[in-house]
Chain A
């Protein structure tokens, strides 16, 4: 099973709302990632969790707050977003180590109004 699941599939939120994106994997992977993807662009890395600890934050604004409650779950808490934050948010996981591929979820399409 190489599945990464993400919920919700679509999300529309106002600039004053608070919402959360959820990601789950049951492959025993120790690294999990959040990416942001704008139309016709490659994914941009936001955060990396390794062994449930935040290891990389790519200078992401504080209105995005990641959380890793356990080794299978990854959340992204959203607050006071801007319209330019509208994008596809992708979660991925990896076993880690040399040449270890990342497995991506289907993404959450976020629209900020």
Chain B
């Protein structure tokens, strides 16, 4: 079946450091890929998405490129802020019944001043 694998956290960085959170997926078809972010005590917010190979999603300084050849969708940011501290979930979905999401395990990011 389909699955999403993320690097285990926590990832601890100093403010203004570069961020990469790895995400790879296993899928039988051509899914859409998403990054969601969950701040403490809140629900999930869509951060960015890509719907086909070579698409780049971007938002709030974060970027991720849909790489079909390596089945990856790594999240990157050039300079993190303390306010970026959160849990990040990579996910995929198909145009199937209910458009269901398959989530990775989540990666906690902690940014220190």
Residues in A lying within 8 Å of B, measured CB to CB: 4, 6, 31, 33, 40-43, 45, 48, 50, 55-56, 90, 92, 94, 96-107
Contact = CB atoms under 8 A, between A and B. Distances in A.
A45 B100 CA distance: 8
Contacts of A45: 100-101
Contact of B46 (A6, A33, A42, A101): A101
Interface residues of B, number: 24
Contacts of A97: 95, 99
Interface in B41-71: 42-46, 49, 51
Interface string B82-111: 000000010001110111110111101000
B25 interface: no
Nearest to A96: B99
A94 B94 CA distance: 13
A104 B45 contact: yes
Given A90-B44, A96-B99, A106-B43, A101 B104 contact: no
14 contacts: A40-B108, A42-B104, A42-B106, A43-B44, A43-B101, A48-B97, A48-B98, A94-B99, A97-B95, A97-B99, A98-B32, A101-B49, A102-B46, A104-B44
Contact of A106 (B42, B49, B97): B42
Nearest to B97: A55
A42 B89 contact: yes
Nearest to A106: B43
Contact of A101 (B34, B95, B98, B108): B34
